[in-house]
Structure formats: C-alpha cells, structure tokens
Structure 1
Amino acid sequence: MITIKRYINVFLFGIIGGGARYLIELLVISPNGFPYSTLGINLVGCFLFSILIDYIPARFSLSNATATGMSAGLIGSFTTFSTFNLDAVKLVVHHQITFFIIYLFCTIFGSLLMNWTGQRFSQKLRRQMEVW
C-alpha cells in the first residue's frame, strides 16, 4: 500500500511540476536561441530540491510517500535532463558553440552551486526551527 501511495504522489506532484515548467517556458522568450528558461528552471530546481528533501519533511512531518512525490515528482518533472540535452544539441546544430559552452558551464556549475546554497539555506532553517 505504501508503494501505491508513493506512485500516486509522484504522479500528482509530477503533473504540478510539469505544468509549472510548461507555463514558465511559455512566458520566457529566448533571444538568440539561448535556453534561458531551461537554465533558470534547472537552477531553481536544484535549489528547491535541497530544501524539499531536508527541511520541508522535517518541518511539516510529511510521510515518505509525500516527500518522495515532492522530490521525484515535483522537482523531477520541473527539471528535466532531456530538455537540457535537447537545448544543448540545438545550440550545436545551429553552430552557436559559444552559447553551447556557456550553457554547459552555467548548467553544471550553477546547478552544483544552487544545490549547495539550498542545502545551506535548509540547514539554517532547520537550526531556526530547533530554536523555536
């Protein structure tokens, strides 16, 4: 029964994450073919992922099924590696090698930085939660 709850949570949160990604991509216009929306979504997702797996379940006493749904479903569908790959290939195909290199650098190192920042922020929130 617990496994079914996880699947349902991943599915439902996945709808929310995918829908949010789609709306953001509709609103962000990428001049010069540079994938600003994908980069921004992935960076924000890396930051939020750290908070969703560390702070939120502790703060709100979430079940494992809900926590899995939020991390794998919501963030997993919001940030997709396939979109990153597709955008990178498009830049190469259109001979935008400089943008391709910038995109790779910003995605890889920016994601690591945002994940680290999210972890630090989450730890700070947890310390404040313990003080309360």
Structure 2
Amino acid sequence: MTSSRDQMTAPTDSGFFLSVTSQRRERARRRIAVTTAVAVGGALGSAARYGASLAWPTAQDTFPWTTFAVNATGCAVIGAFLVIINDAWSPHWLVRPFFGTGVLGGFTTFSTYAVDIQRLVQDGQSPIGLAYLAATVLAAFVAVWCAAAATRRLVSWRQR
C-alpha cells in the first residue's frame, strides 16, 4: 500500500523523473570535473610559485620582490587569458577553471602578500611594508589592464 507521501511524489511520467535524475548526475559529474581541474591546476601553479621562491629567495626585512613579481606576472597572464578566451577562442569548458582559477590562483599568492606586509610591519619595517602594500595593488591593476589591452589589440589585428 502506498502512503499519501508516495502518492504525491509517485511518477506519472517516468521519463520526467529519469530526466531529473540524469540531470542531477550530470551536474554532479560536472562539479567533480571542475573541482578536479581547479585542484590539479592549483597544484601546478603553487609548485611554480614555490619554485620561484626557491630560485629567488627574499632576505628578511627587505622588499619581497619575488612575491611581488609573481603576483604582477600572474595578474598580467590572467588579463591576457581572459581576453583570449572571451574574444578569440572558445576553449573546452574546463580550461577556465583549470588555468584561470587553478593554475593562476595557485601561482599568485595574495595570502603571502598579506603575511609579508604583517611581518614587515611587526619587524619595524613599516615603510617597506606600506610601499609593498601600495605597489602590489597598483602593479596588479596595471598588469591586468596592460596585458588585456595588448592582447585585445593583438587579437583584433590577427582577426583582420
């Protein structure tokens, strides 16, 4: 015997419920694929950033040039990347989460930027910390803008 709840949710058209179930499975599959792409990309980007910190270590109480350069470079690449995938190329749906969120999110390190500022201020290097604070934000905006503008010009030139 069926309960009143079973009667309310019992399928009148089994195709409808199969369709809903397959849509849920597809959404779950896509979420897993995106999460995996971001995780793999993040691991690669973080490894590249770590490699940069080993190649160009920053001395204590000095301007953190390596983190500054990594963040500015990552911002420039994201500016160019977004123009390319929005204006010139229709990539696979996992390219943006893999490269944009994963690789570049792992490569850029604004959390280290915040810790560097805190460390500099606590160590009595407030002028360096404040210069780093302002310079990084300015460099990030300029890098994104310049790279996007240059890429947009290049893309429009190639499309003629």
- Per-residue Cα deviation, 1:105-124 (whole angstroms, up to 9, x for no partner): 11111111111111102211
Whichever structure has more helix as a proportion of its residues is 1
Consecutive aligned runs of 4 or more in structure 1 exceeding 6 Å deviation? none
Change in Cα spacing, 1:58 to 1:4, as seen in structure 2 (3 Å) is farther
- Per-residue Cα deviation, 1:9-48 (whole angstroms, up to 9, x for no partner): 1111111100000000011132443211110100001100
| One-letter amino acid of the counterpart of residue 63, structure 1 | H
RMSD over aligned CA atoms reads 1.6
Query: Which of 50, 54, 62 matches 1:33?
Result: 62
- Per-residue Cα deviation, 1:65-119 (whole angstroms, up to 9, x for no partner): 2112110001111112211111000100110011112101111111111111111
* 1:108 equivalent in structure 2: 137
Query: Which of 97, 101, 107 matches 1:78?
Result: 107
Q: How many residues align?
A: 131
Equivalents in 2 of 1:42, 1:88: separation in Å? 14
Give the deviation of 1:58 after TM superposition. 5.2
* 2:128 equivalent in structure 1: 99
TM-score by length of 1: 0.90
Matched-pair contact (CA < 8 Å) for 2:78–2:144: yes
Unaligned runs of 5+ in 2: 1-28
1:52 aligns with 2:88: no
| One-letter amino acid of the counterpart of residue 158, structure 2 | M
Change in Cα spacing, 1:69 to 1:57, as seen in structure 2 (3 Å) is farther
* 1:18 equivalent in structure 2: 46
